[in-house]
A and B are shown apart, each in its own frame.
Chain A
Amino acid sequence: MNERGFEPPTPEEARAREALRTLEPPRVDPAFRERLRRDFVAGRMGEPRTLRLPVAWYRQPLWRLAPVAAALLVVVVAVTNRGPAWMVLASAGEGVAVVDQVPVPMGHVEELQRRLRPGVRLQVPVGSEIELASPGGLVVQVTSGTEFRLPAIPGRWVGRWVVGEVRHGEIRVTTGPAFHGARLHVQTPEATVVVTGTTLAVICEPIGTCVCVYDGEVGVGAKGDRMEPVVTGRRRFVFNDGRSPESAEIRPIENERLAAFRQSRGAWLEGREE
């Protein structure tokens, strides 16, 4: 036989062909044959022959999504946990307030509101006053000549402890129902005040800090010292010259101011007044 395929094969080709034709058919392995026959008849063909090893739980496809789900949960909690932003409830007086070293006229309430974020340092000019509020939570009255670092708004579920700071001047604080379970730490140069739900004044004076409690109970202590409870109608003075703190009756003038403040803002905090 040649390339055209019509000629008889050569002796070598005939031998090769004969060798191929007389080969014994290869035997199928009996176990393989039986398994394949069973699978073919039962229609289980195509099932993987590889051994399926157990997969560690953390390598299961669903568990691989766990970090993503956890991150998503954190984002959702962080977003929904956030309480309402500080709002300027009222402002009185002329002059220019300073918010983080940026002057803002007291009359520009919207600009003040935009700049008053947790952590900013607010300086209220002499002769003016500003009231900041977190609806339902608390109202802070920042009085004339006060420098105050705004605390964060307590979160709904986590981050319920917040810290503010009074450098000098006076703030009055009254809390509402949404503040329940939260804590406001007010730092002054010489004292720490822990507010858990009350009406009080924190007054920074040249010789120390005076905390007047109109109602409820407040923890007051010198920096690094233990906290002492101060109850309704009492005040505590923490000196900055090393003398021991002193407790006494609330200052009459502060009692009047706090009473008026609580009366005017209590109803608003409880949602009984727009």
Chain B
Amino acid sequence: MPDPSVSGAPGATAVSPEARTPPERAELERVRTRDSEALAAFFERYVDRVYGFVYRLLGDRAQAEDMTQEVFLKVHRAAHQLDTTRDPGPWLMTIAHNACRDLWRSSAWKLSRRAASLDGDSPLAATLSRGTNDPERDALASERERLVQHALTRLPEPLRVAIVLHDYEGLGHEEIAAITGIRHAAARKRYSRALSALARLLEDSLA
């Protein structure tokens, strides 16, 4: 496996390889024409990925649901612009990232953050881990989920985007640069800073 810091390609990530396999071109053509079956298949293929991405960025289930709906609304509106020669994954991530960025810039978000900071730590969702037959393992996974998500939400937003796209979504620096609208080198540097910051935040809890 190539070193991700050099090649930009991450190793194994939370998003499964099946979710990253792009659909057939013919299927994407049908999505462009808003064919019902194709739209349903497209939705099933990407909804978990979009939801997971925005959840990691926002750290709140209700907001992640609203954002997922927003993303699919935009996808439906822009379906005719879909480039069938390319993997629609980065296109979706770009839409999701832009929608989250718009939310972060909104006064409503800033107000809610201010209220959350007055209340103490922002409330994290209940455990999201899939249940197993091993309660101890479930409890550990749940605790780790809570710690990592909490650390993510404490990162500055651009750093959060960089590390989630790279290590959670499994995108390379070049794709991240295209999604976030910055240069390749800047994307790498941002990821580097994000990883350092996350490591510092998790230093004690993961030791």
A→B interface (CB under 8 Å)? 1-10, 12-13, 15-17, 19-29, 32-33, 36-37, 40-43, 45-46
Shortest distance from the beta carbon of A46 to any chain B beta carbon, whole Å: 5
Asked whether, in the complex, the Cβ of B191 is within 8 Å of the Cβ of A43, the reply is no
The interface bits of chain B over 26-62 (1 if a CB of A lies within 8 angstroms of the residue's CB, else 0) are: 0000000010100110011001100110011000010
Asked whether, in the complex, the Cβ of A24 is within 8 Å of the Cβ of B130, the reply is yes
- Among candidates A6, A17, A45, residue contacting B76 with C-beta atoms closer than 8 Å: A45
With known contacts A13-B196, A36-B72, A26–B167 Cβ distance under 8 A: no
Does more than half of chain A's interface fall in helix, strand or loop, or is it mixed? loop
Residues in chain B near residue A37, CB distance under 8 A? 40, 43-44, 47
Asked whether, in the complex, the Cβ of B73 is within 8 Å of the Cβ of A45, the reply is yes
With A and B bound together, what is the CA distance between A10 and B197 in angstroms? Answer: 12
With A and B bound together, what is the CA distance between A13 and B34 in angstroms? Answer: 44
Residues in chain A near residue B151, CB distance under 8 A? 16
- Among candidates B15, B168, B199, residue contacting A12 with C-beta atoms closer than 8 Å: B199
Asked whether, in the complex, the Cβ of B193 is within 8 Å of the Cβ of A3, the reply is yes
Asked whether, in the complex, the Cβ of A8 is within 8 Å of the Cβ of B148, the reply is no
Asked whether, in the complex, the Cβ of B129 is within 8 Å of the Cβ of A24, the reply is yes
Closest 4 CB pairs of A and B: A5-B192, A45-B73, A12-B199, A5-B188
Asked whether, in the complex, the Cβ of B43 is within 8 Å of the Cβ of A41, the reply is yes
Interface size class of B (residues with CB under 8 A): 35 or more
With A and B bound together, what is the CA distance between A55 and B180 in angstroms? Answer: 44
Residues in chain B near residue A32, CB distance under 8 A? 65
Residues in chain A near residue B206, CB distance under 8 A? 12, 15-16, 19
Asked whether, in the complex, the Cβ of A20 is within 8 Å of the Cβ of B40, the reply is no
- Among candidates A1, A4, A21, A41, residue contacting B39 with C-beta atoms closer than 8 Å: A41
- Among candidates B16, B141, B192, B202, residue contacting A1 with C-beta atoms closer than 8 Å: B192
- Among candidates A4, A23, A36, residue contacting B168 with C-beta atoms closer than 8 Å: A23
Residues in chain A near residue B14, CB distance under 8 A? 20-25
29 contacts between A and B (CB under 8 A): A1-B192, A1-B195, A4-B189, A4-B192, A5-B188, A6-B5, A6-B6, A9-B199, A16-B199, A16-B201, A16-B206, A17-B198, A19-B202, A20-B168, A21-B11, A21-B14, A23-B14, A23-B148, A26-B51, A26-B52, A26-B64, A28-B68, A36-B47, A37-B47, A40-B72, A40-B75, A40-B76, A45-B73, A45-B77
With A and B bound together, what is the CA distance between A73 and B34 in angstroms? Answer: 52
Interface assignment of B121: CB less than 8 Å from any CB of chain A: no
Residues in chain B near residue A10, CB distance under 8 A? 199
Shortest distance from the beta carbon of A207 to any chain B beta carbon, whole Å: 87
Asked whether, in the complex, the Cβ of A16 is within 8 Å of the Cβ of B12, the reply is no
Interface assignment of B163: CB less than 8 Å from any CB of chain A: yes
Residues in chain A near residue B72, CB distance under 8 A? 36, 40, 45
Interface assignment of B112: CB less than 8 Å from any CB of chain A: no
Residues in chain B near residue A20, CB distance under 8 A? 14, 148, 152, 163-164, 167-168, 198
Shortest distance from the beta carbon of B115 to any chain A beta carbon, whole Å: 21
For A13, the closest partner residue in chain B by CB is B199
Shortest distance from the beta carbon of A26 to any chain B beta carbon, whole Å: 4
Residues in chain B near residue A46, CB distance under 8 A? 73
For A2, the closest partner residue in chain B by CB is B192
With A and B bound together, what is the CA distance between A2 and B195 in angstroms? Answer: 9
With A and B bound together, what is the CA distance between A153 and B69 in angstroms? Answer: 69
Asked whether, in the complex, the Cβ of B69 is within 8 Å of the Cβ of A45, the reply is yes
Shortest distance from the beta carbon of A40 to any chain B beta carbon, whole Å: 5
Interface assignment of B108: CB less than 8 Å from any CB of chain A: no
Interface assignment of B111: CB less than 8 Å from any CB of chain A: no
Asked whether, in the complex, the Cβ of A9 is within 8 Å of the Cβ of B76, the reply is no
- Among candidates B6, B48, B64, B199, residue contacting A15 with C-beta atoms closer than 8 Å: B199
With A and B bound together, what is the CA distance between A23 and B59 in angstroms? Answer: 13
